[in-house]
């Protein structure tokens, strides 16, 4: 019987996913590097099976999986720790989900498209708040305006909290290249190279460009799309500050020894496995994803806003929904897929609503 394996189960997001799966009546195999923490989590979630695996021993990760299983990995930062889980899924013939928000890692997963097709599996990267809501908002807007050739997608968070794992992943991204979709092709673009305003819940809000999954996923599903931009909402001065900072870090990144020094220093200071926002804080957090699509003349053709719950709660719920839907036979294809391509617009809309994201 195929099973769901949750790797990184004892981390902040992993625990939330374990709870979300249990609430759906699905017991995943809880996998991680620490046997004691896994045993404690298994007791808390009603006695699930556990398995020890560490990314420094790739064979231990491969041993978690059999053909047809569904792996959810939250072992991040993904640029540092992500590849063994991806490789294990491809080698085992297991479907793969991850919670990454790191653009260069997303690109790595999409680079495995051919391998995934040959293995008859789906690779679903960035299947959390980064970047399911924007894919869905853009697909809904493109359904209303099939002649649109450009999508601008913005993510906005009110009252955000961050986990240690998120901060570690953000730090690891500082010296990395970003990208964008231009003329139907992925091209390099610095983080925050573009800053623009969106209308969000009746207010104008500023956002800076980031590398997302939409650039890859939307281009696959909507070949008419020539340009896609993904933005993260930030207070105006912070957005412009990030643009200035990214100019400096891009210059540093060109000098490999200096980049290494910077990365090593950040790794020491910014650590994962340190928890995240408490339930009461998450209950206050609100999120929005906005997609504006426009035609070749630059005219806005449709706009869709989705409003949702806290990013960690959404990530846990949508990953639980996605893994369960794959096990139940709801997957529409194989390869490295975007969320709309994997499940179809109607089914994904319903899954997102279950996870607290609505138009």
Nearest approach in angstroms of CB 24 to ligand NAP is 18
**Smallest distance, ligand NAP to C-beta of residue 126, A:** 7
Phi-psi region of 183 (alpha: psi -120 to 50; beta: other; left: phi over 0): left
**Minimum CB distance to ligand NAP, residue 83 (Å):** 12
* Nearest distance in Å: CB 273, ligand NAP: 3
DSSP letter assigned to residue 213:
S
CB of 194 to ligand NAP, least distance (A): 20
Binds ligand NAP (CB under 6 A): choice among 76, 103, 233, 308: 76
Minimum distance from residue 314 beta carbon to ligand NAP (Å): 7
Site size toward ligand NAP (CB under 6 A) is: 36
Give the integer Cα–Cα distance in Å for 108 and 104. Answer: 6
Q: Which of 108, 125, 135, 166 touches ligand NAP (CB under 6 A)?
A: 166
The Cα–Cα gap between 20 and 37 comes to 18
Restricting to residues 27-46, name those near ligand NAP by CB under 6 A: 32-34, 37
Range in contact with ligand NAP (rule: CB under 6 A) among 7-15, 182-190, 194-202, 336-344 = 7-15
Residue 93: count other Cβ atoms within 10 Å of its Cβ.
Answer: 16
- Our CB check for ligand NAP shows the closer of 147 and 159 to be 159
Residue among 30, 22, 19 nearest 53 (CA) = 30
The pair of structure tokens assigned to 333 is: 């294809």
Residue 311 binds to ligand NAP (criterion: CB under 6 A)? yes
Contact code string over 97-136 relative to ligand NAP, x by CB under 6 A: --xxx--------------------------xxx------
Q: Which of 103, 212, 233, 272 binds ligand NAP (CB under 6 A)?
A: 272
Distance in angstroms between the alpha carbons of the first and the last residue of the chain: 37
Residue with smallest beta-carbon separation from ligand NAP: 165
Complex with ligand NAP: residue 102 or 292, whichever CB lies closer: 102
Q: How far is CA 144 from CA 26, 104, 147, 257, 292, in A?
A: 36, 31, 9, 49, 11
* List 28, 69, 77, 351, residue binding ligand NAP (CB under 6 A): 77
Residue closer to ligand NAP, measured from CB, 129 or 302: 129
User: What is the pairing mode between strands 122-124 and 335-336?
Assistant: parallel
Q: Judge whether 93 and 100 are in contact, CB under 8 Å.
A: no
Based on the shown chain and the rule CB under 6 A, indicate whether residue 335 belongs to the binding site for ligand NAP. Answer: no
- Position 60 contacts ligand NAP (CB under 6 A): no
How far apart are the C-alpha atoms of 107 and 179, rounded to whole Å?
9
Q: Residue 74 or 303: which CB sits closer to ligand NAP?
A: 74
The piece of 115-123, 143-151, 195-203, 311-319 that touches ligand NAP (CB under 6 A) is 311-319
**Residue 133 · residue 352 · CB < 8 Å:** yes
C-alpha distances in Å from residue 348, one per residue of 137, 156, 188, 225, 354: 11, 20, 30, 21, 10
- Across the strands, what pairs with 32? 52
Check residue 77 and report its DSSP letter.
S
């Amino acid at each position: 019987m195929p099973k769901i394996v949750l790797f990184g189960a004892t981390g902040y997001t992993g625990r939330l996913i374990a709870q979300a799966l249990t609430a759906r009546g699905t017991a995943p195999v809880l996998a991680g590097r620490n046997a004691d923490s896994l045993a404690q989590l298994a007791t808390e979630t009603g006695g699930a099976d556990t398995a020890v695996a560490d990314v420094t021993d790739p064979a231990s990760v491969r041993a978690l999986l059999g053909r047809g299983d569904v792996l959810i990995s939250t072992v991040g930062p993904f640029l540092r720790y992500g590849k063994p889980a991806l490789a294990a899924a491809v080698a085992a013939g297991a479907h793969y989900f991850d919670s990454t928000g790191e653009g260069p890692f997303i690109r790595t997963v999409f680079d495995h498209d051919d391998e995934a097709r040959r293995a008859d599996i789906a690779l679903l990267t960035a299947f959390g708040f980064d970047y399911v809501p924007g894919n869905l908002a853009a697909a809904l807007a493109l359904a209303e305006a099939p002649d649109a050739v450009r999508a601008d997608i913005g993510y906005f968070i009110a009252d955000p909290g961050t986990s240690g794992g998120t901060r570690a992943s953000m730090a690891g991204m500082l010296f990395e290249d970003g990208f964008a979709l231009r003329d139907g092709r992925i091209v390099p673009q610095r983080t925050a190279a573009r800053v623009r305003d969106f209308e969000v819940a009746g207010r104008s809000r500023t956002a800076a460009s980031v590398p997302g999954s939409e650039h890859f996923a939307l281009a696959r599903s909507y070949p008419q799309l020539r340009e896609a931009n993904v933005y993260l909402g930030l207070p105006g001065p912070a957005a412009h500050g990030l643009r200035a900072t990214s100019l400096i870090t891009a210059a540093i990144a060109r000098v490999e020894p200096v980049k290494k020094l910077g990365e090593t220093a950040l790794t020491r200071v910014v650590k994962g496995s340190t928890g995240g926002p408490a339930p009461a804080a998450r209950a206050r957090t609100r999120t929005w994803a906005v997609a504006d699509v426009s035609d070749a003349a630059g005219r806005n053709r449709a706009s869709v806003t989705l409003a949702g719950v806290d990013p960690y709660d959404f990530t846990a719920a949508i990953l639980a929904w996605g893994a369960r839907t794959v096990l139940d036979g709801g997957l529409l294809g194989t390869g490295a897929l975007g969320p709309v391509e994997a499940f179809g617009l109607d089914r994904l809309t319903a899954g997102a609503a279950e996870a607290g994201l609505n138009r």
